[in-house]
Each structure stands twice: as structure tokens, then as C-alpha cells.
Amino acid sequence: MPEPTVTMAGSPTDPPTVRCATADATRALARALGAELVGGDVVVLTGPLGAGKTTFVQGLALGLGVTAPVTSPTFVLARHQRPDAAGPRPDGPNLVHVDAYRLAGALELDDLDLDSDLDRSVVVVEWGEGLAERLSPARLQVHLDREPAAAGGTAAAGGAAALAGADAEEASPGDEPRTVRVEPVGLEAARTARVLAAVRGVPGVREAQAC
């Protein structure tokens, strides 16, 4: 299985940019990150339609010990999932998966009452930039994007997907190369180093030229 390649930065606490050649590589990277997450963590996912945000959440879920299928919660807005009792993290945090694509603003996000069980959950918000930051001053910003050639090749499909809604990402081609940038915001230095070490420590990652 193709594995991610990582663009090493100058310091262990500098955010890395990772190239994932396939959807499986994206999940492998996210799984390693998910294994480091604890209750109270907030992950804000950004990127265009078809960039692989839901695919990334599928990997995060595995890292949290959630084995139930993960799909985009576009129409239900938020989906709550518990770790598998027989899995690697039976007492780990719940996964709260939010799709903010159809939210009109911060007040609608507040209506979801996400902070009521934030201490016991990892909250992951797709399309959350500019909205989800209010949930916590400390969070992980994850930006996903197609590589330029792949993005150009699927521009027409992306335009049609926008008409259908954010859930159309599920139907986009899964094995196009993508880049992923993981940026801790407001985390203590030791935690930042651990999280980024997990990203860089995925088996098979190697130093690569910046994309």
C-alpha cells in the first residue's frame, strides 16, 4: 500500500506537509494522529470539495478505536460515535464528527451544543474554519488539498459536487494524490512535539520535496 511522504520542516515543532498518494495513505496518516488524541481535542478540517476530509476522519476514527463506518454527516450535521468496547481504546474519547458545510454561522454551531460533552470527546469539524475555533483556543488545524494535476483533472466533477453538497466528496475519486498539513494551534510545546512526531512517524514516511 502506498504510504505518505512527508516534507520535513526545520524543527520538530514546525508543521509538516505530508503527501498521501492514495486514500489508504491518507487514512494511515490520520490513524496515527488519531491515536494521539484525547478528550477535549478539537480538529478543524479545511480544504476544497473532494480533498479527502471524510477519508481523513475515517482514519482518525480508527486511531480513536471507533470501528463503526464513518460517513459524512452533511444532513445530520453532527454524528456521535463511541470507541469499540473490544477495540484498542475501549475507554477512549467519543468521536463527534461535524459537517459545517450547511451551517449559516457560529450561532448554528452553538445550537449543536458541542461543548456540553467536549471533555469526553474528540470533536472533528469539516468545513470548520472560521466557526469551530470558538470551541477551543487549543486545536489542530488540518488542511487537505489535491495536488494541482489531480485538482485540475477533476475540476468539472468538483463543480457538480458543489451543487449536490459536501457529501458528494464521498463519491469523488479516492486515489488521487493529496497533501495534508497538520498545524497545532495553542497546544503546549510538549504536546505539539508528540502530535507532530506521530505524523512524522507513520511507517514509510520519508523526507520529500515540498509540494
- How does residue 15 score in pLDDT terms, banded at 50, 70 and 90? confident
- Contact by Cβ (8 Å): 26, 178: yes
Angular region, 27: left φ>0, alpha ψ -120 to 50, beta rest:
alpha
Domain ranges of the chain: 5-200
In this predicted structure, what is the pLDDT of residue 189? Answer: 92
Using a cut of 0.85, tell me whether the model's pTM lies above it. Answer: no
CATH of 5-200, one of 3.40.50.300, 2.60.40.10, 3.10.20.30, 3.90.1150.10: 3.40.50.300
Give me Rg for the CA atoms of the chain: 16
- Contact by Cβ (8 Å): 3, 205: yes
- Contact by Cβ (8 Å): 78, 103: no
Segment 69-86 shows an average pLDDT of 83
